[in-house]
Chain A
Amino acid sequence: MRPALTLCLPLLLLAADGRRMPPTLVLPKASPADAPGVSFVEIARAAGLASFRRVSGSAVKDYILEAKGGGVALLDSDGDGWLDVYLVNGASLETLRGAGEAPPSALFRNDRNGTFGEVTEQAAVANRGWGQGACTGDYDNDGDEDLYVTNFGPNRLYRNDGRGRFSEEAGTARVALGGWSTGCAFGDYDGDGLLDLFVAGYIILDLERLPPAPSQAVVKPGNALPGTTPKTSEAVQAAYRPGMAYCEYRGHAAMCGPKGLKGAPDHLFRNQGDGTFKDVSVQAGVSDPNGYYGIGVAFVDFDDDGRLDLFVANDSCPNSLYRNRGDGTFQDVSLASGAAFNEAGQEQAHMGVAVGDYDRDGREDLHVTNFENDANVLYHNEGGGLFSETTYPAGVGNASIPFVGWGTNFLDYDNDGWLDLFVANGHVYPFVDEFDWNTSYEQRALLFRNLGGKFAEVGQGGGGGLAVVRSMRGSATGDFDNDGDIDVVVNPIDGEPLLLRNDGGHRAGRWLRVRLVGDPARRCPRDATGSVVFLTAGGVQQRGDVASGRSVMSQSDRRVHFGLGASTRVDRLEVRWANGPTLAYEVPAIDTELVIDQARGVLPAAARAVAIRR
């Protein structure tokens, strides 16, 4: 069983052939920076999730479609107050061409005892396409989480009936698209109280005219070709070599892309309030006419003007940051904001995006994952619409270099009041394992503990769950067992999911979880997406946003979780309701979930279950 093997890896610093084990396989030793008494344990099998196995084309990864992987969503599909898990499945070229049926995506309902039961068929969310990502939002304001699934092919909009059964409405709602969609997010960009939908496009890929495949080259991966190794971090991912019938990575035949392939446009759909959406991408100014390869998507009010802006992590291109003008259009401030490139002015292979106020200055910062031999990038929000890169000074640069980063999430795993950082990793070229390149195809995750605005990598003190290696892709965070600490779920490529249960986080610090119920009559979406919670405890203010999408094509817990450290009370809690005022609320207790209804205020315990189920 793979987890047992991976637990041994830290002891085996040398591979069988004498090569040094790359850092992508070896969890660093425990360090004083590791949060004492808090560890992650991988329990996917015990929790009943291991019956799912993502399929993603051939093992050799001839085409970029096969290497992209998929996302995962944590959602409360049946409104019982417990997080369920939706895992997006892929397919194969053969099934796309009509030979057999694509495997289903899977919905696992939370049995409220640490385990899950699969309910895909009952819930009618099998998807059965080449799935990419998932995001949730109550687009019809009926009090339950609806689910949008992106595909290579038509996307799905699963409308929730409130009891955990879904009907597929993408065609009717006019959000099916086609082509290759990746990340998605719901957000009310026009302030009408209805959730709109943004969908990133990746590549225009014609199955009848695929780019050259490495397995069809006479030179197989493994036969060194001279003269082609990238010398700097600029030269990331495979490049097409003139006159050759395939692309190369470090001199070895590899799948092509994304560079050189045509990028797909992005789409913004305006919710018309009648169950349909209208594609307003072009008039809103977010259609991506440059054809950048979008992956990670986040609606975020980065300038705190009360309007949701939009960030798109674009693979091998500049990131896109669009400022919401408030008149139904966006201004492209990608370059001017400083969030398009790294500090040196170079684009990177941007994959996923995490959003959070890691230094507690009240503004939302961004963390963007990247390719191997490059660092993931931390953009600090300076205010005034500007970001500055703080990757290396903040301590998240060096450790990330050998990894190919995908999903990324801010989470306060030790409840100390500082947002820590999780990164799901995995290479795209299986042949990297044949070489002494200081990296590997399957990789472990990275967890950085926030020590007051600067990060330190968590080592073996963070538990055996962090030692598990897979070729990971989407990741989502949430308190699946409602015990007061944040857990992590990962959807690797060609394999079983990971469920990293947080053991001890709820004992390491006090906590408060906040669930918001918006009032559409006050132009706040029912699920309160876009609302911000400001919490002050121990003289320090934190913020948490109710958000859709983010990470890599994934959806995290929509409830806002705060670690309170040693504080025994919350001094102040304010909610800046989406499209509405900022209101203060009393917090009667901590170490619990607080439900705040915009229309009714803090709900008493008895009313919470009703609010959840409504």
Chain B
Amino acid sequence: MPGMQSAILSLILLTQSAVASGAAATPEYARAFQRGDYVRATTLAAERLKAQPADVQARIVLARAEAARGHFDAAYAGFRKALRLDPHSPDALYYLGVTAGVLAQIEHERLLAMAPGSVRAHELRGQSYEAQGRNAEAEAEFEAALEAGPPSVEVLVALGDLERARLSFAEARAHYSRAVELAPGHYDALYGVGVCDAYVGEHAEAAQFFRRALRVAKHSAPAHLALGISLLQTGKAAEAVTELEAAARLEPRMRQAFYQLGRAYQALGRPQEAATAFARVQKLLQQEREVNEAIMEKPDPR
């Protein structure tokens, strides 16, 4: 199973990687980890945790050492424990995500081994690859799923999503359209067609699909936003405001909604409301920038 091996190898490499900094007061368990002596790192970190059960860093290093040894269930549990101690630990969050992806991959490999020709198995494996950002492999699995059996709406939508991420809108639209033919009430497919149309400037067409998507999921902030944009682009600013206000209500941190709302107010000759919306955009931008800078500034805890 080269895919799984690759994933495990990657994780091991990853665990080795993040050791470059913070050497000044590095505890022995971390130094063992840095040397690649994962058995000793495990032992020492476990001893440390007996004495100091709330030591988040020791718990993270222990979990990473478990992962490096291929004990992904133990690693997963370890990162969860670390998160209970510090729910905002970026390290724990990051490695938990990676480990969860590897665990999912392992299960999907087992599933595919049990049913090698199964549409569902290919689909699941494709989803697993997609979750890990391995898009080429994901696409191959989804294509295999389509070949293995009758077309699946989920697979078509997944292929559409991959093409859309590449900004290949014609190809993406073809997949979404097939999905809509099979399932006229499928939100993701309807939304996907709309996005593809909007990107190439076919806003009237796009609006129709966004409306259909909203009939399926009336509380979708992205669909309200997208419909608002298309309405604005077709000169229907008043209708756009209704949709954009809905999007902003549903997602108060959705910067794009406030930006488009500002433009819609402008088009309607409501400069005060436009200025308020743009000020909100600036505030959200500022917050995002502060978060980005804080992450870069955060000292490496190891």
Is B216 in contact with chain A by the CB < 8 A criterion?
A: no
| Residue from B17, B102, B257, B285 with most neighbouring chain A CB atoms (10 Å) | B17
A98 to chain B, nearest CB (A): 26
CB distance from A429 to the nearest CB of B (A): 16
B50 contacts A by Cβ under 8 Å: no
Which residues of chain A come closer than 8 Å to B11, judged between CB atoms? Answer: 226
Closest B residue to A256 by beta carbon equals B296
Task: Judge if B295 is at the interface, Cβ distance under 8 Å.
Answer: yes
Inter-chain CA distance A393–B199, complex, in Å, is 9
B20→A233 contact, CB < 8 A: no
Asked if A341 and B259 sit within 8 Å, CB to CB, the answer is: yes
Chain B neighbourhood of A601, CB < 8 A: none
In the complex, the answer to whether B295 meets A218 with C-beta atoms within 8 Å is: no
| B301 in contact (CB, < 8 A) | yes
Across the interface, which residues of A come within 8 angstroms of B10, CB to CB? 223-226
Inter-subunit contact B94/A243 (CB<8 Å): yes
Q: How far is the CA of A60 from the CA of B25 in the complex (A)?
A: 31
Report if A373-B166 is in contact (Cβ < 8 Å); known contacts: A245-B21, A250-B133, A345-B260: yes
Instruction: Tell which of A223, A242, A392, A436 touches B200, judged by Cβ atoms closer than 8 Å.
Output: A392
Chain A proximity mask over B269-298: 1 for CB below 8 Å, otherwise 0:
000001000100110011001001101101
| Complex Cα spacing A223 to B260, Å | 41
* Structural contact, B289 and A291, CB atoms closer than 8 A: yes
* Residue from the list A229, A245, A345, A375 in contact with B19, Cβ < 8 A: A245
Task: Report yes or no: B20 in contact with A243, Cβ–Cβ below 8 A.
Answer: no
Minimum distance in angstroms from A583 CB to a CB of chain B: 36
Question: Given A219-B17, A245-B19, are A401 and B229 also a contact pair (CB < 8 Å)?
Answer: no
Q: Could you tell me if B17 and A244 are in contact, using CB atoms closer than 8 angstroms?
A: yes
Does B113 have its Cβ within 8 Å of any Cβ on chain A?
no
Asked whether, in the complex, the Cβ of B17 is within 8 Å of the Cβ of A217, the reply is: yes
Q: How far is the CA of A335 from the CA of B276 in the complex (A)?
A: 12
Taking CB atoms, residues of chain B closer than 8 Å to A398 are: 167, 169
Q: Is A290 an interface residue (CB 8 A)?
A: yes
- Given A336-B278, A345-B255, decide whether A219 and B16 contact each other with a Cβ distance below 8 A: yes
- Is A259 part of the binding interface, using a Cβ–Cβ cutoff of 8 Å? yes
With contact pairs A225-B14, A226-B7, A226-B132 given, residues A262 and B300 touching in the complex (Cβ less than 8 Å) = no
| Candidate in B14, B255, B256 with the most chain A CB atoms within 10 angstroms | B14
Instruction: Pick from A216, A218, A223, A227 the residue with the most CB of B within 10 Å.
Output: A227
Assuming the contacts A259-B292, A343-B233, asked whether A217 and B134 have C-beta atoms less than 8 A apart, the reply is: no
From B93, which residue of chain A is reached at the shortest CB distance? A242
Contact in complex: A335, B262 (CB < 8 Å) = yes
The binding surface of chain B is classed by DSSP as helix
- Expressed in whole angstroms, the Cα–Cα distance for A290 and B90 within the complex equals 26
A261 pairs with B296, CB closer than 8 A: yes
A443 to B166, CA, bound (A): 18
The verdict on B263 contacting chain A, using a C-beta distance below 8 Å, is yes
Within 8 A of B (CB), among A213-255: 216-219, 223-233, 240-246, 250-251, 253
Q: Which residues in B have their C-beta under 8 angstroms from that of A374?
A: 167
The CA of A219 and the CA of B18, in the complex, are separated in Å by: 9
- The chain B residue sitting closest to A217, CB to CB, is B17
Is B154 an interface position by the 8 A CB rule? no
Q: Interface residues of A toward B: which range? A: 35 or more
CB distance from B227 to the nearest CB of A (A): 13
Q: Does A31 contact B (CB under 8 A)?
A: no
Within 8 A of B (CB), among A189-225: 211-212, 216-219, 223-225
Determine whether B266 belongs to the interface, using a CB cutoff of 8 Å to chain A.
Answer: yes
**Which residues of B232-282 are within 8 A (CB) of A?**
233, 255-257, 259-260, 262-263, 266, 274, 278, 281-282
Tell me the minimal C-beta distance from B222 to chain A in angstroms.
Answer: 11
* A211-B274 contact given A229-B134, A242-B93, A341-B259, CB 8 Å threshold: no
Residues of B near A217 (CB, < 8 A) are 17, 20
When the two chains form their complex, are residues A390 and B201 in contact, meaning their CB atoms are under 8 A apart? yes
**Does A260 interact with chain B (Cβ within 8 Å)?**
yes
B118 an interface residue at 8 Å Cβ cutoff?
A: no
Tell me whether B97 is interfacial, beta carbon within 8 Å.
yes
Contacting residue for A227 out of B98, B166, B302, CB 8 A: B98
- Assess whether B85 is interfacial by the CB under 8 Å rule: no
Asked if residues B289 and A243 are in contact (CB atoms below 8 Å), the reply is no
Point out the residues of chain B lying under 8 angstroms from A229, CB to CB: 132-135
Residues of B within 8 A of A317 (CB): 285
Q: Tell which of B6, B16, B90, B296 touches A224, judged by Cβ atoms closer than 8 Å.
A: B6
Residue with the highest number of chain B CB atoms closer than 10 Å, among A226, A253, A261, A290: A226
A256 to B14, CA, bound (A): 18
A318 within 8 A of B: yes
Closest chain B CB from A183 CB (angstroms): 21
Which residues, 85 to 103 on B, are CB-close (under 8 Å) to A? 90-91, 93-95, 97-98, 101-102
Chain A residues positioned under 8 Å from B16 (CB to CB)? 218-219
- Decide if B77 is an interface residue (CB 8 Å cutoff): no
Within A416-452, the residues touching B (CB, 8 Å) are 436, 438
Which of A218, A227, A256, A291 has a CB less than 8 Å from the CB of B97?
Answer: A227
Contact A227 B17 (CB under 8 A): no
Kindly provide the distance from the CB of B128 to the nearest chain A CB, expressed in whole angstroms: 10
Say yes or no for B183: interface residue by CB 8 A criterion: no
Judged by a CB distance under 8 angstroms, whether B115 is at the interface is no
| Cross-chain contact of B201 among A224, A336, A392, A436 (Cβ < 8 A) | A392
Query: Are A343 and B289 neighbours in the complex by a CB distance under 8 Å?
Result: no
- B13 x A345 contact (CB < 8 A): no
Cβ-defined contact, B301 with A226, below 8 A: no
Q: In the complex, which residues of chain A have a beta carbon less than 8 angstroms from the beta carbon of B199?
A: 392, 397
Contacts of B134 in A (CB 8 A): 224, 226, 229
Query: Do the beta carbons of A216 and B20 come within 8 Å of each other?
Result: yes
B204 proximal to A (CB < 8 A): no
Bound Cα distance from A418 to B158, whole angstroms? 42
7 A–B contact pairs at CB < 8 A?
Answer: A216-B20, A227-B98, A240-B292, A242-B295, A243-B91, A260-B293, A290-B286
A interface vs B, CB < 8 Å? 211-212, 216-219, 223-233, 240-246, 250-251, 253, 256, 259-262, 290-291, 317-318, 335-336, 338, 341, 343-346, 373-375, 386, 388, 390, 392-393, 397-398, 401, 436, 438
Smallest CB-CB A-B distances: 8 pairs: A229-B133, A242-B90, A345-B256, A243-B91, A260-B296, A393-B201, A219-B17, A245-B20
Q: A227-B131, A229-B132, A260-B295 are in contact. List 13 more A-B contacts (CB 8 A).
A: A219-B17, A224-B134, A225-B10, A226-B133, A229-B133, A242-B298, A250-B133, A256-B296, A290-B282, A345-B260, A386-B266, A397-B199, A438-B166
